[in-house]
Amino acid sequence: MNAPPSALQTAPPSGAPVVGVLALQGDVREHIAALAHAGARAVKVRRPEELEGLDGLVIPGGESTTIDKLARAFGITEPLRAKIRAGFPVYGSCAGMILLADEIADPTQDLSGCPQESFGGLDITVRRNAFGRQRESFETDLDFKEVDQTGGPVHAVFIRGPWVERVGPDVEVLAEVDPSHASHTAALGGRSRIVAVRSGRLLATSFHPEVTGETRIHELFIRMIRGEA
């Protein structure tokens, strides 16, 4: 396992892209550390006006329903949707993947019966908590397209993670969990499950690279922002 995120913080270089982390709930601090290590200047974002001047945004892992409700309460949902439609680069991990999906297979409902919402942008269908609950959390190594392979496979931590059940024609599959190489196989049913996708300037993973010190996913996102990937 790589160094913990707290050990990765470095001063951003001159001209570094400014990347926001949606700081409503979830593992915000870890993403900020990973982005700094990847060469970005990371800032917390909660309100619509804080989206201005950003080169990209990370939606962290956490509770997708809570982030959805707070985003609407803070008035950031519609401005963020508009920016995503206009081509704004966004990376979502775990709950962030759910919030970037155009379709949620099993959305929760509030007390009035209204289903949870997403920001959308990725032509995918996701299933929440697909790998199981907290006690079924697991780790595995993944072959991940578009990252530097000299460091070996990407070590992925799944904590109540979603998986992707459908991808649209413009969505690229970057990584899948192979049942023969996973430590948690009961939920897989003998089938590989999609856990990382990209479409244009949108990137999403089911797992949490920020909690292990795995920074290659954030480095890929920075290259996407710069137009280098």
Tokens, residue 176: 């899948």
Q: Specify whether 214 is catalytic.
A: no
Q: Specify whether 94 is catalytic.
A: yes
Per DSSP bridges, beta strands 193-199 and 202-205 are: antiparallel
Tokens, residue 194: 């999609």
What is the CA angle 16-227-104, rounded to 5? 100
What is the CA angle 138-142-145, rounded to 5? 145
Q: How many residues appear in the chain?
A: 229
Question: Which of these is catalytic: 210, 214, 218, 219?
Answer: 210
Question: Which of these is catalytic: 31, 94, 214, 219?
Answer: 94
Q: Specify whether 208 is catalytic.
A: yes
Question: Which of these is catalytic: 31, 37, 208, 218?
Answer: 208
Q: For tokens 């003998």, name the residue.
A: 190
Which residues are tagged catalytic? 94, 208, 210
